[in-house]
Structure 1
Amino acid sequence: MLKPVFITLLSDYTQDSEYMESLWSDIAKQHSKKNRYYHNLSHLENLYRHLIEVKNEIKDWDMVLFALFYHDYIYNVYKQDNEEQSAKKAKKILNTLKIEKKRITTCFDTIIATQGHKIAKSKDINYFTDADLSILGSDWKTYERYYKNVRKEYKHYPDFMYHKGRIKVLHHFKDMPAIFKTNYFYNKFEIQAKKNLQQEIDLLSM
């Protein structure tokens, strides 16, 4: 599903078909690593499905798409700078294409915003970070599958360490005045997201 989207996106900025194929292969390889149970191609597909619904509201669709493909390019559970490293990777790739520096900065900033998912001045960034968090407002069965897959990604950590860190993350989102910054995502997911987060906190606190 995603490959044609990526190739079409690239075709406006390069005519080198071999290069386009190599960039896609690299993304597919990164997101298919055996330690990725949630942060994989399925996550990107889910993000795309939600973003396409608000495409008409987004100012620079292409930079949002590039952010989608590269925002989890680097994913190492032992590191704290995954978003920054992923943003740097996107910047490096976009600099090889015919893209203005200002737009590259937009993509970079969008990826960096996934670090804390705070409200931004840019509407595009708010739509992107909302879509990235959409899993939080899914039905409980889907949410349960999500948090179990995240736990698998942190399987090297013992429960007492993981639970403490995970509860802190869950509270970060639950205690926000609003998890979702845009009306579209807020109306669709906010209530269920708060319920899901509380339910996972309760389970981890048992």
Structure 2
Amino acid sequence: MSGPVGFEAWAALAGDSPISRTEWAAVVAAWSEPHRRYHDLAHLAAVLGLVERLSADAPDPAAVALAAWYHDVVYDPLRADNEQVSAERARAGLRGLVPEARAEEVARLVLLTAAHDPEPGDANGAALCDADLAVLAAAPAAYAGYASAVRAEYGHLSDDEFTTGRIAVLERLLDLPRLYRLPAAAEWEPVARANLTAELTLLRSRASGA
């Protein structure tokens, strides 16, 4: 495997050792789980590519990149604590591979992806969160594909259950003062809000039976 999710990219952050190779393989295996339809290796590759650009002025670009590797390493639609467990997984997996302070920063960043609301001045957090939410500003067809893939991941829910939960997610995102924090991502804001609003309008219509 090569490219942004290949071992060479990982080794640039966590070194080339037997332990590092084992951890990389475990992380890739987690992202390859069969129940994933959106939160898969393609999403990981996309986020890694974006954080490389968005974290150029961040204080710790390596921590941001490692946080991208781990931000959805645990993804179970039946759980409500995926980010917390992913952060713990990052701490454990990076032990001995990177300095402890960096591992703690990685865990902190992973936790931010639960709400995507980093504090002002948190350049590391802004880079990761902006990259993770970039899909919201996709062209309409690509956004529809993303929304469909998310629905597939929640196949255990009825349409009514999913619609109720998805409406809550969309409303929370639209309530954020800004979806994107970095100047390099500012142009995504109007497109993302238009996509979110269109999906929300559709789901509300379905919920009301209109």
Q: Do residues 66 (structure 1) and 70 (structure 2) align? A: no
Q: How far apart are 1:192 and its partner, in Å?
A: 0.3
In structure 1, the partner of 2:115 is 116
Q: Does 1:144 align with 2:148?
A: no
| TM superposition shift of 1:9 | 1.6
Query: Which residue does the alignment assign to 1:50?
Result: 50
| 1:39 alignment partner AA | H
Q: Comparing 86-95 with 48-57, which one deviates more in the overlay?
A: 48-57
* Seq. identity, %: 27
User: Distance in 1 between the 2:9 and 2:98 partners?
Assistant: 18
Task: Describe the SS at the equivalent of 2:76.
Answer: coil
Aligned to 1:8: 12
Whole-angstrom CA distance in 2 between matches of 1:5 and 1:74: 20
> How far apart, in 1, do the equivalents of 2:126 and 2:54 lie?
11
112-121 or 33-42: bigger deviation: 112-121
Q: CA deviation at 1:178?
A: 1.1
TM-score normalised to structure 2 length: 0.91
Residue 77 (1) aligns with residue 103 (2): no
1:49–1:203 CA distance, 2 compared to 1 (3 A): same
| Structure 1 position 48, deviation (Å) | 1.5
Size of the aligned set, in residue pairs, is 200
Q: CA deviation at 1:184?
A: 1.4
Give the partner amino acid of 1:10.
A
CA-CA distance at 1:123 after TM superposition: 1.0
Structure 1 stretches lacking a partner, 5+ long? none
Runs of 5+ unmatched residues, structure 2: 206-210
Question: Paired residue for 2:22?
Answer: 22
CA RMSD of the aligned region, Å? 1.3
Give structure 1 regions of 4+ aligned residues with deviation exceeding 3 angstroms: none
2:208: which partner in 1?
none
Query: 2:136–2:143: 8 Å Cα contact kept in structure 1?
Result: yes
Deviations 1:98-152 (A, max 9, x none): 41x3222211110000010113242111111111100001111111100100000
Equivalent in the alignment of 1:191: 190
